[in-house]
Amino acid sequence: METQNLRIAIQKSGRLADSTLQLFDECGISFPQNNNRLISLCYNFPMEILFLRDDDIPASVASGVADVGIVGENVVMEKEKSVAIAERLGFAKCRLSLGVPQAMEYFGTSSLNGLRIATSYPRILARFLEENNVQAEIHEISGSVEIAPGIGLADAICDIVSSGSTLLANGLREVQTVVKSEALLISQPELSAAKQVILDRLIYRIKSVRRAKKFKYIIMNAPQSAVPVISGILPGMKSPTVTPLAESGWVSVHSVVEEDDFWEKIEQLRDAGAQGILVIPIEKMML
């Protein structure tokens, strides 16, 4: 019997590669490790992995060479291929921004009129300029965009920014975000039913892993009398679990707290009388 695998295209090496492999690992998906691989068949999940340059991933998915792929939103937007977003993955977050020399005055997009702007993202930039009624010259270069103004190749740039240190090191400042980006799981718009079932299984695992990362499991001891206040601090998913301790009048409280406001919650819990607070990472959180 022929078995159908979901074929997924991922970046061979680069900024997306490590996080993508980590995600597969956290989803319990393993495959033979071999650095010169082009394609690997997973041991324990009906999926084969195709290793490509990120620029080729949207086209490989749109053409059916791969069924799905993991790639930056910026590349998906630039390539304008017919693919669907199956899931946002939340890593490799960055933005495509306009940068100008530190000394240049900038009063808004109209300041870009008549400039030469260097970028590796000509389509996204052209759309942005058109939407903002700016007439500027787009100068397409494939790498080291940030050095273009310094060597007189351009007046401004449109490039990926994460921390902003590359712009700073090249005497540029970020003046405008054009688009925001994160890694996406993209898919062919029309997958076969059998492959859609595999994709749904993959997405379920990814969601469980991502949800778990947002939360911590916490355990603390507290006087019984403090439980109403503590329950109010811990909205959790359901009300907290409260079990009696051997020492009378004391209980153990278990709950789940969101990472975002984690430290504030801990301070409030201590003020409410909680002691011996333990914080435990959650590996998966299923719905």
Q: Does residue 216 contact residue 285 with C-beta atoms inside 8 Å?
A: no
Question: What DSSP letter does each residue of 154-170 carry, written as one string?
Answer: -SEEEEEESSSHHHHHT
Query: Residue 160 to residues 85, 119, 210, 257, 285: CA-CA distances in angstroms?
Result: 21, 9, 25, 34, 33
167/218 with CB nearer ligand PRT: 167
Q: Tokens standing for 80?
A: 């304008």
Q: Does residue 76 contact residue 180 with C-beta atoms inside 8 Å?
A: no
12/284 with CB nearer ligand PRT: 12
134/179 with CB nearer ligand PRT: 179
Residue 55 in the binding site for ligand PRT (CB under 6 A): yes
Length of the chain: 287
37/53 with CB nearer Zn ion: 53
78/155 with CB nearer Zn ion: 78
Residue 74 in the binding site for ligand PRT (CB under 6 A): yes
Among 10, 27, 47, 75, the residue binding ligand PRT under the rule CB under 6 A is: 75
Among 3, 33, 34, 163, the residue binding ligand PRT under the rule CB under 6 A is: 163
Angle (deg, nearest 10), helices 193-213 and 17-26: 90
Give the nearest distance from C-beta 14 to Zn ion in angstroms. 7
Count of residues engaged in binding ligand PRT, rule: CB under 6 A? 21
Give the nearest distance from C-beta 71 to Zn ion in angstroms. 9
Tokens 């469980």, located at residue: 208
Give the nearest distance from C-beta 37 to ligand PRT in angstroms. 15
96/266 with CB nearer ligand PRT: 96
Query: Residue 195 to residues 1, 58, 64, 114, 201: CA-CA distances in angstroms?
Result: 16, 18, 12, 49, 10
- Taking the CA of residue 80 as centre, how many other CA atoms within 13 Å lie in the half-sphere pointing to its CB? 7
Q: Which stretch binds ligand PRT (CB under 6 A): 68-76, 200-208, 210-218, 229-237?
A: 68-76
Give the nearest distance from C-beta 75 to Zn ion in angstroms. 7
3-state secondary structure of 175: strand
Residue 161 in the binding site for ligand PRT (CB under 6 A): yes
Between CA 200 and CA 3 the distance in angstroms is 17
Residue 162 in the binding site for ligand PRT (CB under 6 A): yes
For 249, which DSSP code?
A: T
Among 70, 94, 154, 156, the residue binding ligand PRT under the rule CB under 6 A is: 94
List interacting residues with ligand PRT (CB under 6 A).
11, 14-16, 53-55, 72, 74-75, 92, 94, 159-166, 181
